[in-house]
Amino acid sequence: MNKLTRNLLCTAVAIAFSGAALAAQPDADRYIVKFKDGARGNVENAVRASGGSVKLQISGMNAMAVSVPAAALNGLQNNPNIEYVEQDHPRYLMALYNDDAGDPTTSQLTPYAIYQSQANQVALNLAGAKKVCVIDSGLAYSGQGETGGPNMDFSDSNITGSNDSGTGNWFQDGGPHGTHVAGTIAALDNGFGVVGMAPGNPLHIVKVFNEAGWGYSSDLANAASKCSQAGAKIISMSLGGGGANSTEQTAFDQFTANGGLVIAAAGNDGNSVRSYPAGYKSVMMIGANDANNQIADFSQFPSCTVTTGRGRNASTETHDGYCVEATAGGVDTLSTYPAGGATLSTLEADGSGFASSAMENVGSASGATFFMGTAESTAAGAAGRICVIDRGVISFHDKVKNCQNSGGIGAIVINNEAGMLYGTLGTANTTSIPAVGAALEDRGSLVGSASASISIGASDYGYMSGTSMATPGVSGVAALVWSNHPTCTGTQIRDALKATAADAGAAGTDVYFGYGIVKAKAASDFLAANGCGGGSEPPPPAGAPSDLSGSVSKRGKNYNYSLSWNGGGATVDIFRNGSKIATESNSGRFSENLGATSASYQVCNAGTATCSASIIVAY
């Protein structure tokens, strides 16, 4: 079997836009407005009167994203119907490198991060599986997307999705990022392609990023609500940006408080800056390591200490929720791409497969080999053969050009230092034969070979690097472990992953690795031995209140409304005509007096979107 290879593009995709893309920058005048119960209409009118517009109603939070002139802010902040106004911060995708690579159509490949995290040692219990909500750029699941067609390595029965405003269909990719992330979590164990950490785990896709690759903190707050409504218990976000936001934070705080687990990328700037939403305590921040258990040089490492306020009002807190808690493989990670959206190189010599990297020129070549040394000049012996070339002295382009001018049909360029050779033939490439890089460790076998075959072509699988790739790795491990301990809460799964992570870097916890590299089997064994909460597992989360019914009777000048229902959590929220009117201990009953002859009611588990059906009660 040939070994898959890849070509590392030494260009960061660090969300740099130029030319026409500048027209699609985030709005500087976009804010989140939190309004009081029942005040939505008044606030919408105030926004429009100020010359602004409503951009998004954030589901279940009495909040909306608006665009207003800076001069209007003071008026909104002093509006008695408004609790607060805050900046709506941009949020960006966090892939650092993109390796064009692979098309494993004849066999199934296991990415190194799966072996490293022990995911291959734990089987997914589909009956206990927790749905993972991937907030990203969509999935290549059906139809032609921005990058390519659907990738066939996903389940056709347990993936759902929803769109955010202006992002297009969730099932058509808006770039390869979201498809790569989803495959790392749940690509199928089906004999071809790649396999995910929790193969076949249910997914819900929320497409929040536009074509330019950014969204807003309000989009993430709204997406968290959609994740809850879809029944997801894990949120995976390979994204982030600067600036904390209380609305965004509240959304993830609530998801966690309701038993869920939120996981997000630390960031790719290789510094100590704290990125959000990973920087909130309720969100598990993930860093990236490589295949050698070394920290990735791009992985951000913020301090675990946060100071808020100033002067006498300043307070300082140290908590592991403010910094990296764990890491997983995020350097050159292989996963799914939209169909035809990546590039594969394969290398075989004397019938054995070798790792390689695609340099340039799509195509295939097979034949006898000819060793050209450093290929500083043409050589008649290369005619009709695969040139085997050492790195050094002249450029890659000139080496391959000398091979081609000698009549060579393909080129293998071998590194002159340990590891794989990643390179290109430059922007002014005048060659046409396929050329691949190879590792120094394989030099003896390649130079001594009698024949070789190389191929470079379009593929449905490829490599990326970034904390974006480590984050779905941990999300998949969490789903895998949780499926085998389904009565645990998300926080208990998070604690188990930290308690069993393999220490790396400096001894003990540190800002780079946190508690260490996640280990699926160790975490599952820990829970089996100790229980979710140190010896006993909690009861399953409460279901929605059901069988809501009501009656109304005349009482003097008013009307007495009585409600009854079954089930639900220990505390419930009562809604009348779409607005919350009470939060009470769940007795299964509620009554009130009104002057109106009819009203609609709904009962929800407190602070959640787990609700009964709405009913209308009329006299």
Q: Could you write out the three-class secondary structure of 38-81?
A: CCHHHHHHHHHHCCCEEEEEECCCCEEEEECCHHHHHHHHCCCC
Distance (Å, rounded) from C-alpha 503 to C-alpha 509?
7
Question: Of 433, 459, 485, which one is at a domain's C-terminal end?
Answer: 459
Do the Cβ atoms of 109 and 509 come closer than 8 Å? no
Angle at 518 between CA 516 and CA 524, to 5 degrees: 130
Question: For residue 170, is it within any domain?
Answer: yes
C-alpha distances (whole Å) from 423 to each of 174, 183, 406, 477 are 27, 27, 22, 33
User: What stretch of H or E contains 601?
Assistant: strand 598-605
In terms of domains, do 191 and 221 share one?
yes
Interhelix angle 490-500/467-483, rounded to 10 degrees, is 110
Annotated active-site residue 350? The verdict is no
Q: Catalytic: which of 99, 100, 103, 136?
A: 136
138 in the same domain as 268 = yes
User: 266 and 122 in one domain?
Assistant: yes
| Residue 135 and residue 271 in one domain | yes
Which CATH number does the domain housing residue 612 bear? 2.60.40
Predicted pLDDT of residue 10: 26
Q: What is the CA radius of gyration of the chain?
A: 28
- The total of other beta-carbon atoms located within 10 Å of residue 155's CB is 16
**Residue 469 forms part of a structural domain:** no
Integer Cα distance of 387 and 369 in angstroms: 6
In a domain, 159, yes or no: yes
CB distance 270 to 299 below 8 Å: yes
pLDDT at 586: 87
> Is 468 a residue of the active site?
yes
Burial class (CB in 10 A: 0-12, 13-18, 19+), 41: exposed
Q: What torsion do the CA atoms of 65, 68, 71, 74 make, to the nearest 10 degrees? A: -30
- Whether residues 394 and 505 fall in one domain: no
- 139-178 pLDDT, tens per residue? 999 989 999 999 999 999 999 999 876 788 999 999 999 9
Indicate whether 379 belongs to any domain.
yes
Token output for 38: 């029942």
The verdict on residue 297 lying in a domain is no
Contact call for residues 617 and 584 (beta carbons, < 8 A):
no
Domain span holding position 604: 546-618
State whether 436 and 575 are in the same domain.
no
CATH of the domain at 348: 3.50.30.30
Break the chain down into helix, strand, coil percent, rounded to 5. Answer: 20, 35, 45
In a domain, 350, yes or no: yes
Total tally of structural domains belonging to the chain: 4
The answer to whether residues 64 and 58 touch, using CB atoms and an 8 Å cutoff, is yes
Cα separation, 472 vs 80, in Å, equals 43
Identify the active-site residue in 282, 468, 475, 524. 468
* 3 assigned to some structural domain: no
Q: At 460, list the tokens.
A: 């449905």
117 plus 208 within the same structural domain: yes
Q: Are residues 572 and 518 in the same domain?
A: no
51 and 126, same domain (yes or no): no
Report the CATH number that the domain containing residue 44 is assigned in CATH.
3.30.70.80
**Dist. CA 100–CA 344, nearest whole Å:** 7
Smallest Cα–Cα separation from 65: which of 248, 218, 277?
A: 218
Q: Is residue 488 part of a domain?
A: yes
DSSP H or E run through 305: strand 305-308
Residue 541 pLDDT: 57
Last residue of a domain, one of 19, 52, 87: 87
Choosing from 89, 177, 397, 485, the catalytic residue is 177
pLDDT digit string, tens, across residues 548-571: 999 988 877 888 889 998 988 888
Q: Is the same domain home to 371 and 435? A: yes
229 and 183 belong to one structural domain: yes
Same domain, 502 and 551: no
Q: What is the model's pLDDT at position 93?
A: 62
Low-confidence ranges of the chain (pLDDT < 50): 1-24, 95-103, 535-539
Does the active-site annotation cover 585?
no
Boundary (domain end) residue, out of 434, 459, 484: 459
Report in angstroms the alpha-carbon separations of 261 from 23, 104, 129, 297, 505. 36, 33, 14, 27, 26
Q: What is the pTM of this model?
A: 0.74
